[in-house]
Structure 1
Amino acid sequence: MKSQWHLPGELIQRYATGRLEPVQVMSVETHLSRCAACREAVPYDEEWLATSWERIEDLVDRPSPRPAARLLHRAGVPDHLATFLAATPTPARGWLAAVGAVLTFAVTAAHLAGQDPFWAVHAVVPFLTIAPVLPLAGIALAYGPHVDPVHELQAATPMAGPRLLLLRALAVLVPAVVLTSIAAPFLPGPGRLAAAWLLPALALTAGTLALSTRVSPRLAAGGLVTAWLAALALEGGLAGHVFVFFSPAAQALYGTAAPILAVFAYRRRAHLDPGESRWNRL
């Protein structure tokens, strides 16, 4: 009967002192995984090994949270949700930077155009046009197989499905609202116009989630953005202004529609799963 081959002592010594090439290391470790006798022949420092395992366990059990996760935790968000929300895909973080740039441009353009009292009111139109749809772009980029490189891994976790999409939507809605709220007071013109974007933004966001129970978030957000911009362009062309979309009557309509659409999306939350095959075809 053929005896089992074992690693030569010189090879074991070179392996233990780190003097082997990577290919040789893989070959030796493959043998060690199957040979108990050779494993016992590998010299090691028991104290060093124990200390190394303690450091590894410390990193695995208590990883250093990201700054965003620490900030969320201080705000009262549970640890597991803070870690999850801080891991939003890279496109969403790029979108956040784009939101800041767009708002800065809109405010600057409004001030440049608002030197004249007449134009001081109309200068806020670009801001009112883009501010309500900024959260929709974030929702479209927040979750899905086309934008998240670890989508398949996350789809196998307890956080997958409707809860994941809703949390990601909240994660992009809040910073968009905060950044826009910071920019709004710097606009020229009446203060009520500076705040007129909020209810449309909430209604469009709720509408995106409601439509996402039937189509992909990307398609839902893109459709509503297109409809919003087309409606404003049409009204501006026919009546010469777009302020009818921000009138008290329109604000009341947005305020009524937002909770109704949010409740509709919540009741149909079981359909908010971008992992479904019908969404992957879009």
Structure 2
Amino acid sequence: MNTQWHLPGELIERYTTGHLEAVQVMSVETHLMGCARCREAVPYEREWLTAGWERIADAVDRPRPRPVARILRRCGVPEHVAVFLAATPALARGWLVAVTATVAAAVAVAHLVDSTGAAWTVHPLLFFLTVAPVLPLAGIALAYGPRVDPVHETQAATPMAGSRSLLLRALAVLVCAIVLTGLATPLLPGPPGLAAAWLLPALALTATTLALATRVAPPVSAAVLIVAWSCAVLTTGGLTGDGLVLFSPAAQILYGAATVLLIPLVHLRRARFDPGEPRWNRPSASKN
């Protein structure tokens, strides 16, 4: 004898017309999940149900892009690249805040020095010109690697791994730093040409960081260059009495030439970024 219980017709009618309490609805739907006979007794429009499931599947399979990804798409960036860049490690947000704060502080220091009339000892733009070129390096150090990216090992098995991942994120970091610093440049005291003297050093230091990253970890190469650049500015300024020696026209030519030479080198050595090649990118072996 079949003792299975089925939904009464009156209960099905109240369910379909929306006259049941939330707890009763949950109970009815739990029964419908395991009872084919009662499911057949519930009237529904097949086309409406099919369309509803298609909308749900589309929302699950194609989630709404993040705001950053939508902005990048509007700028002409391919969809898969935009989604990848929008998924940059969370530390990148902290870097953007730090860059904005640092640039604002550099502008404030420049105006402070200029207003105190101390330009004969410290040039108003010196702090800004020293800090601006190394801002992208900190972003590159936080853009790639097993220590900063929680999905690094998973991503290593995708086509975006290795050099493509690092170079795309490095480019995004460089563009963001240039845009933020460029917006601050008109706010600085002094001639516009001198205020923009940070750009070529920034490009040269970024290219050098990427070239060194084929041998050592990006955080190490970035840290070494940040220290070396700061020491070079202070040393040359102390020895020559002119803190802007490294921002002279002759120095700008050297920065431009170095950038032109280093970019092809990074391209030729891009395979050294791939997982398993550089020692800094190899997953640590488990100890038994």
Where on the TM-score scale, by shorter chain, does this alignment land: which range?
0.7 to 0.9
| Deviation digits for residues 59-82 of structure 1 (CA, Å, limit 9, x no counterpart) | 134321111111111111111111
| TM-aligned CA deviation for residue 189 of structure 1 | 1.6
| Deviation digits for residues 253-279 of structure 1 (CA, Å, limit 9, x no counterpart) | 000001211110110000113665721
Please list every run of 5 or more consecutive structure 1 residues that lacks an aligned counterpart in the other structure: 1-7, 20-24, 26-31, 33-37
SS at match of 2:119: helix
Q: Which residue of 1 aligns with 2:130?
A: 129
CA contact (8 A) 1:216 1:279 kept: yes
Is 1:83 the counterpart of 2:83? The answer is yes
Is the deviation greater in 248-257 or in 236-245? Answer: 236-245
| TM-aligned CA deviation for residue 55 of structure 1 | 2.8
1:236-251 aligned at under 5 Å gives the runs: 236-251=237-252
* TM-score, structure 2 as length reference: 0.80
Q: Which residue of 2 aligns with 1:260?
A: 261
Is the deviation greater in 125-134 or in 235-244? Answer: 235-244
SS at match of 2:115: coil
Structure 2 residue identity aligned to 1:162: S
Q: Distance in 2 between matches of 1:217 and 1:42?
A: 63
Rg bigger for which structure? 2
Please list every run of 5 or more consecutive structure 2 residues that lacks an aligned counterpart in the other structure: 6-22
Is the deviation greater in 67-76 or in 52-61? Answer: 52-61
CA contact (8 A) 2:107 2:188 kept: yes
Q: Distance in 1 between matches of 2:102 and 2:35?
A: 61
Assess, with a 3 A threshold, how the Cα gap between structure 1 residues 59 and 143 changes in structure 2: closer, same or farther: same
| Deviation digits for residues 66-105 of structure 1 (CA, Å, limit 9, x no counterpart) | 1111111111111111111111111112101110110011
Assess, with a 3 A threshold, how the Cα gap between structure 1 residues 107 and 276 changes in structure 2: closer, same or farther: same
CA contact (8 A) 1:107 1:183 kept: yes
Q: Which residue of 1 aligns with 2:200?
A: 199
Task: Report the aligned-residue RMSD.
Answer: 3.1
SS at match of 2:97: helix
CA contact (8 A) 1:208 1:220 kept: yes
Q: Distance in 2 between matches of 1:16 and 1:266?
A: 65
Q: Distance in 1 between matches of 2:183 and 2:61?
A: 38
Structure 1 residue identity aligned to 2:65: P
Q: Distance in 1 between matches of 2:24 and 2:273?
A: 53
Is the deviation greater in 241-250 or in 98-107? Answer: 241-250
Q: Which residue of 1 aligns with 2:18?
A: none
Q: Which residue of 1 aligns with 2:219?
A: 218
Assess, with a 3 A threshold, how the Cα gap between structure 1 residues 274 and 237 changes in structure 2: closer, same or farther: farther
Structure 1 residue identity aligned to 2:77: V
CA contact (8 A) 1:210 1:264 kept: yes
Q: Distance in 1 between matches of 2:156 and 2:26?
A: 40
Is the deviation greater in 84-93 or in 201-210? Answer: 84-93
SS at match of 2:149: coil
Structure 1 residue identity aligned to 2:74: R
Q: Distance in 1 between matches of 2:163 and 2:279?
A: 15
Assess, with a 3 A threshold, how the Cα gap between structure 1 residues 39 and 156 changes in structure 2: closer, same or farther: farther
Percent pairwise identity: 59
Assess, with a 3 A threshold, how the Cα gap between structure 1 residues 190 and 149 changes in structure 2: closer, same or farther: same
Q: Distance in 1 between matches of 2:93 and 2:196?
A: 25
Q: Distance in 1 between matches of 2:186 and 2:275?
A: 37
Q: Which residue of 2 aligns with 1:189?
A: 190
| TM-aligned CA deviation for residue 43 of structure 1 | 4.5
Q: Distance in 1 between matches of 2:38 and 2:90?
A: 44
